[in-house]
Every structure is written in C-alpha cells, then in structure tokens.
Structure 1
Amino acid sequence: MNRIKVLLLSLCFFHFSFPKDHSFHPDFGLEWCYFVGHIQAESGNRYGYELSFFRLKFSDGEDWNPEVFPVHFAISDLSKKRHQTAQTIKRNLGGMAGYEDNRIFSGEFEMQILSKDRFRIQANPKSKEIALSLELEGNGKILSHGKDGVSIKSKRNPNIFSYYYSYPRLKTKGRLSFLGKEEIIVSGDSWMDHEWSEKTSKQVPTLAKGQSGWDWICLMDDKGGDYVFFRFRESPTASPEIFGTYRDPKGNVTYWSEPKTIQMEPIGHPWKSKETKIAYPLQWRIKYPGGEWNVVPIFNEQEFDGSVSTQTIYWEGAVEAKDPNQKKSAKGYLELKGYQKSKAWWEF
C-alpha cells in the first residue's frame, strides 16, 4: 500500500462541520482563511480586494505554544488601475489577536462568522489609505477540495496536504474607502478560501517552507461554473504538479489530480515589479478536460510585499479569463508565490 493510500485511510473519518470550521483550529500549526472579490460601487467604479487572515502556532511542547496572526489586506481600483496594501502581525496577548467560534481578529482586522452562509469582514488599518466593511452571503454551496476535503498538494510527497474548502459566489455589499474616496458597494461576488494543515508544529510547517512555490487561481464563469487550479512546486528545481477542482452549474464536482490531466502554462513575457524587481508570469493558458482558459490580469501592478508581516512577497490580483472554444468568460483571482529569492526564515 503506497504512502498516499495510507494517508487517505488515516484521514477518511474527517468531515467539515459548519459554521464551526469557518473559524481557526487550535490543534493545527498552520492556517489561513481569506477573501477575494470583484465588487461594484454605486458610483460605477469597480474594485478588487484581498483580506487574508493567517495563523501560525509555534511549539516546543506543552509549555510554550505561542500563536501569531498576520493579516494581509489590499484593494485594487480596477477602474483606474491603482493598488494599495496594508498588513499587520499580532500575538494572542492582551486581546490584540485571536479567534472564537464566531470570529477571527488581529489588530484592526476582523472576520465575523454570522452563520454557515453569512460573514462580515472589516479592515480599518491605521494608515487610513484603504478600509472596508463588507457583508457577504452565500448560497449554501460550499466547495470541498480533494476526497472529503483532504487536498493533496504533491503526489510525490503526500505529507504536503491541507484540509481545504472554498465558498464561491458570496454576494457582497457594504462600503470601502480608497485613498480618501468613500464608496458604497452595491453588488459583487467574493470567494472565500480556507486551509489548515500540520497537526504538529514542533518543526517548520511543510507548506510554509521557503523553497516551495505555487500558482493558484479561482474562476467563476458566466455560466455558473466554479474552478480552482493549483500548480505546486516543492522547490525551485522541482517540476510542477497541477491539480484542479471544477463544479458545474448543476452542482456536480470533478477533481483533477492525475498527471497531465491539466495543462497550466504561462504565456507571453513576465512582468517585472519596479519596487521589488521580481518577475511574475501574469498571463496563463489553462487546458482542462472539455475546455480552455486564457487568463490575463486586469492590470499588472497588484503585487503584495508582505516583508514586515510574513516576510513573503507575492502577486495576488484580479484577473479575467476567456474560453475561446466554449465562448464563455470568467472573473477571479490569481496568486503567484515563490518567485522571490529564498530567505533564511520560513515563508507562508
């Protein structure tokens, strides 16, 4: 019996339980829960946003188990092609950060879990350049990845896995502030992703090792289909492993995990950040059984420099996609991690 089968058998009794599993999980060492979305203001302006809550638990036994809670926050003005970010990192000391059954918070950032299908997210960083308060409501259709939500990231190394679900198409309303302009958000679609892993945190978490990298994209098409594509690299020299999840408009879910089932390749010339000098492949061609996506960013300058919180620099931004064969389009978010030079400290 190979290692993957042993791992899956050991996890076969796991099942998600909502709304409880929307919050953080104290028995695990590494976790993140984040929201991204395309939203429309009353003024007609279009925005994209990212609000990511991280949790890392260090441990050398039962006597010392500190937790840290970084947050990454960004708003992209899609109409004027401008991008602003904010971030923090707090400890679970003095009420500065933490989590309960119905909320996650760190500094000026909070996620409220109102029910299985409703959330309120708030971000009011001290810089005052960007802020938001959004109400999100789902249709009850949470999307699990992998068998029973156990998402294997590498068939070559089955120790690299997470418990992983998404909540696409969260209807979004509220308000935001961007460089002094107050906006009323009247409509939009948000996407929630939540992953946790590393049952023990006595060593550096596998998914957080600085050598790893990935290219992740979520897409919501105009026919009602939802997609996740994930291109994982265990190290800069390792060949990528590609996985995918598709839920059709009727609710049927397909998992793609066998080699060469999906082709996910960058096209065109990489874009190089003026600030960090890192080059990112921002245009992609994705071929999957029955279709093809050509993915492009709405604009290039959507890099996130998380040096002062997670020490990670990555690209995460709003994208659009077209399927030339089926004549359909999609909107979503793309994340590119692992293009900076490795650091001595671990990275998310």
Structure 2
Amino acid sequence: MEWCYFVGHIKAESGNLYGYELSFFRLKFSDGDSWNPELYPVHFAISDLSKKRHYTSQTIKRNLGDLAGNKENRIFSGEYEFQILSKDQFFIKAKPKSGEIALELSLEGNGNILSHGKDGISIKSKRNPKIFSYYYSYPRLKTKGSLWIEGKKESILSGDSWMDHEWSEKASKNIPTLAKGQSGWDWISLMDDKGGDYVFFRFRESSKVSPEIFGTYRDVRGKVTYWSDVSEIQMEPMGIPWKSENTKIEYPLQWKIKYPGGEWIVSPIFNEQEFDGSDSTKTIYWEGAVKADDPIQKKSAKGYLELKGYQKSKDWWEF
C-alpha cells in the first residue's frame, strides 16, 4: 500500500483564500514482479476559506489499459495526475468530469525533504514496532497555477503546499493493522511563521488501548528533532466535538499540543471539511485547513489536520 498526497494553503489573484487536498493511493495485492491487479483511488477536495465552503471529488481505477498506473515520473488515475518534473519541481492536475472543481498547480521545493524516524522508518506504535511505514514529507512547496470552483477560474499567485509520501510492504505484516480494522489516527502538519515545520501523529491501534503520540520538528536552521515520550509530547482534543450533518460522525476539531518549550492551540478555519470516500476507498474522514497559535513561543502557523477512524469499521482496506 502506498499513498502520496498534497495539501496546501493558496491565494488567488482575486484575494480569495483556498485550501486543497489531492491524495493518490495505490493498493497492490502481491509483492511479485509479474502483473497483478492494482487499485488507484484518488481523493480531491477544495476548501473555499473565504466563503467557508467545501467541495470534494473522487475516483478509483485499476491498472487496466491506460486507466491508471505509475511510472518513474508519473502517477495517474482517471482525470488525476502527478508529474515529477525534477527532484524539486512537480505538477499536479485534477479535472474531474463533473467540472465543479478542478486545479492545475506547479510546485517548487527548496530541496529540504523531511524524513520521519530513523532512515525514514516511521514507527506508529511503541507497543508494536511492526506497525510502521516508510515516510517522508516535503514542506513549503511554493505553489502557483489555476483553480476552478463552480466552473469559475481563479489564478493562483502564491501559496505553500505540503507533500507526504508513505508506503508499507506486505512483508512487514503491518497492512492489516494500518489499513483494516479498528485502527485510526489524528495527523497534523504545521508550518509556522518563523520557518519551523511540524508533524504530529496520534495513533489509535484500537479502541481498547490508549493512543500513542509522535512528533517531528525541523527548525529554521534545518535541525530535526523527534518526540515520542509522554514527558515530551501530548496531543489532546479540546472543547465539544463537531457532528457532521451528512454522516452524523463526530470529530474533535480543536486540539492542544504540548511539546518541549511550547504549546499549539489548533482550530479549523471552518468545520465543514469532511471527506466521504464511500465511492472509492469506503472511508469517511475529516481533512481540512487549520490555523494554530503558540502563546508560549509567541508564534502562529497554518496547516492541515486529518482525523481518520471515527466512523464504524468497514470490511475494506481503510487508508
């Protein structure tokens, strides 16, 4: 199982502000080299941060004919595509047939990829170290291009995107735990106004055990710090959960994250940013643009929050 996804805060020439999510998934049923069926779901969302409206689209294709697949410098599935132009330059496109939303964005990085864990091996549970993924991020991708919302084109002049790339292998025996059953997680990426990048991950192996929390921090000078001990990092929901009118699922959208020397207070830019993936991966989760303030270190941040596992478990590969 492999997934590569982009989220970002972007600004249009009109002055309107948007958030977006474009997630490419790949599920392979065998580790063999010969051809075997693969699935390529895609989740796509645009959050109109100015008008507080959320739009979504999705697809799922097989690697049959030229419907979906991956090559050395390209991932595609139906009307969605991710191109690797160079080590630090990318192009993403989403043009679903509905025409309600679409985007074409050029992304350019500064070469500073952020690995999570030793050698990029991200342990999800200290109780069960076999639950892991290979994981790296590429924060602060400078973003320009075009966006369409309700058929109206917007020119994107600036923005910051964040790419995450994770994969796991059948041989690691972690797919059944990460992808199916009772597991869930709360994930957040933050880019602060002083040049620091953060990832916080709260893993819930099941409802019967307490969550485990991990953090990655890279300061403006490039120094990377990992946190995993409860004496270093805590991540707890605040306030009253928000209940979706569409799915009736409740999500904790406000969070307090304590880390050495600081404390983030995280809140959504608006609540209605749920993604119902029933037509592709069968999963329903909340993923949306958030803002954060640290009253101790006197700084602010913008980012994205994902809440997975708040729906009842379904008999499918849950990402």
Q: 2:255 aligns with which of 267, 275, 284?
A: 284
1:255 aligns with 2:226: yes
Instruction: Write the distance in 1 (CA, Å) between the matches of 2:202 and 2:58.
Output: 26
SS in 2 for 1:36: strand
The yes-or-no answer on 1:126 pairing with 2:107 is: no
Structure 1 residue 101 corresponds to structure 2 residue 72? yes
Match of 1:139, SS state, is: coil
Kindly provide the CA deviation profile for residues 43-66 of structure 1, in whole angstroms up to 9, marking residues without a partner as x.
Answer: 000000000000001139777731
Is the 1:57–1:201 contact (alpha carbons within 8 Å) kept by the matching residues of 2? no
d(CA) in 1 for partners of 2:315 and 2:100? 32
In structure 1, list runs of 5 or more residues that go unmatched.
Answer: 1-29
1:51 corresponds to which residue? Answer: 22
State the SS of the aligned residue for 1:59: coil
AA matched with 2:195: G
Q: State the 1:160 CA deviation.
A: 0.6
Check 1:160–1:67 CA distance in 2 against 1; reply closer, same or farther (3 A cut).
same
**Alpha-carbon distance between aligned partners in 2 of 1:192 and 1:60, rounded to the nearest angstrom:** 26
Percent identical residues: 81
Over residues 248-280 of structure 1, what are the superposed CA-to-partner deviations in whole Å (9 max), with x where a residue is unaligned? Answer: 010000011223421100001000000000000
CA distance in 2, matches of 1:218, 1:48: 13
Are the equivalent residues in 1 in contact too, given 2:40–2:61 (CA < 8 A)? Answer: yes
Q: Distance in 1 between matches of 2:210 and 2:119?
A: 27
Matched-pair contact (CA < 8 Å) for 2:285–2:306: yes
For 1:204 and 1:118, how far apart are their aligned partners in 2? Answer: 31
Match of 2:130 in 1: 159
- Residues 329 and 209 of structure 1: is their aligned pair in 2 closer, same or farther, counting only changes over 3 Å? same
Per-residue deviation, 1:344 = 2.4
Alignment of 1:207-226 (within 5 A): 207-226=178-197
- Distance in 2 between residues matched to 1:187 and 1:60, nearest whole Å: 41
1:239 maps onto 2:210 in alignment: yes
Greater shift after overlay, 172-181 or 196-205? 196-205
Measure the CA separation in 2 of the matches of 1:151 and 1:55: 19
Asked whether the 8 Å contact 1:295–1:321 carries over to 2, the reply is yes
**Aligned counterparts of 1:254 and 1:62: Cα–Cα separation in 2:** 37
**Cα distance in 2 between the residues matched to 1:189 and 1:230:** 21
Q: Distance in 2 between matches of 1:301 and 1:66?
A: 35
Partner SS for 2:209: coil
Distance (Å, rounded) in 2 between the aligned partners of 1:203 and 1:264? 24
Equivalent of 1:88 in 59, 79, 82: 59
Are 2:264 and 1:293 aligned? yes
Q: Is the 8 Å Cα contact of residues 174 and 186 (structure 1) preserved in structure 2? A: yes
CA contact (8 A) 1:58 1:201 kept: no
The change in CA–CA distance for 1:61 and 1:269 in structure 2 (over 3 A counts) is: same
* Greater CA drift, 260-269 or 33-42: 260-269
> 2:116 aligns to what?
145
Q: Please, what TM-score do these two structures have when normalized by structure 2?
A: 0.97
Aligned residues: 319
In the alignment, is residue 187 of structure 1 matched against residue 158 of structure 2?
A: yes
User: How do 1:57-68 and structure 2 match up within 5 A?
Assistant: 57-59=28-30, 65-68=36-39
- Residue 119 of structure 2 aligns to a residue whose secondary structure is coil
The alpha carbon displacement at 1:202 in A equals: 8.8
Whether the 8 Å CA contact 2:44–2:58 is kept in 1: the answer is yes
Q: Which runs of 5+ in 2 are unaligned?
A: none
2:149 to 160, 178, 184: 178
Tell me: CA distance 1:66–1:231, structure 2 relative to 1, closer, same or farther (3 Å).
Answer: same
Instruction: Report if aligned partners of 1:104, 1:110 keep a CA contact under 8 Å in 2.
Output: yes
Counterpart AA for 1:66: P
- Which portions of structure 1, spanning 4 or more consecutive aligned residues, are displaced by more than 6 angstroms? 60-64
Greater shift after overlay, 243-252 or 337-346?
337-346
User: C-alpha separation between the residues in 2 aligned to 1:71 and 1:100?
Assistant: 16
Q: Cα 1:60–1:173, aligned 2, differ >3 Å: closer, same or farther?
A: closer
Residue identity matched to 1:98: G
